[in-house]
Amino acid sequence: MTKIVLSTNHKSEMIEITEIVKEEVIKSGVTNGSCIVYSPHTTTGVLLFENVDPSLQRDFLAHMSRLVPKSDRYAHGENADAHLKSALTGNSIAIPVVDAKLMLGEWQGIFFCEYDGPRANRELFIKVING
C-alpha cells in the first residue's frame, strides 16, 4: 500500500489524481486485479468524475454547496457541511486493473475532493491487489 500526501489550497476543491494512481498500478507489477483508492478523512472524498472540462468540477462543487450549505444550524457546528459532503461523495473507489491498466472510461478521471480546506497534509492510500 502506498500513502500519498496532498496539500489543498481552498475550502472546497477537486484535485485530479489519475496519473498518480496509474503510476502506482505500474509500480505494483499487477497485471490483472483491482486498485483501491481511499481517503481516511471525514471531510474529504474520492470519486470518478469527468476529467476533460474543468468547468464541470466547478459545477459539481457549486452544486454540493447548494445541496449542503455552510450553516450555523447544524448540531455539529462549524464544519458539519464538510462531513455531510464527504458522506455523500464517499471516501473510496475500486477500479478494475486489466493488462496493467486502470479500466477507466474515455473521459473518467480519479479525483480527491477537499471539503474543509485548506489543509497541508491530506493522506490518500492506494492499494493494488492481484487477482
pLDDT digits (tens, 9 = 90+) for 79-115: 999 999 999 999 999 999 999 999 999 999 999 999 9
Strand locations in 17-82 (E): 33-38, 44-50
Neighbours of 63 (CB within 10 A): 10
CATH number at residue 30: 2.60.120.460
Count structural domains, the chain: 1
* 94 phi/psi in degrees, rounded to 5: -125, 130
Residues in the chain predicted with pLDDT less than 50, given as ranges, are none
Residue tagged 472524498 (cell numbers): 45
Beta strand 44-50 with 2-6 is unpaired
pLDDT of residue 58: 97
Q: Residue 36's domain spans which residues?
A: 2-130
Asked whether 6 and 111 are in contact (CB, 8 A), the reply is no
Cβ contacts of residue 37 below 8 Å, gap of 6+? 17, 21, 46, 92, 93, 94, 95, 110, 124, 125, 126
pLDDT of residue 71: 87
Strand locations in the chain (E): 2-6, 13-16, 33-38, 44-50, 92-98, 101-102, 108-114, 122-130
Cis check for the bond before 69: say yes or no (omega within 30 of 0): no
For the whole model, what pTM was predicted? 0.95
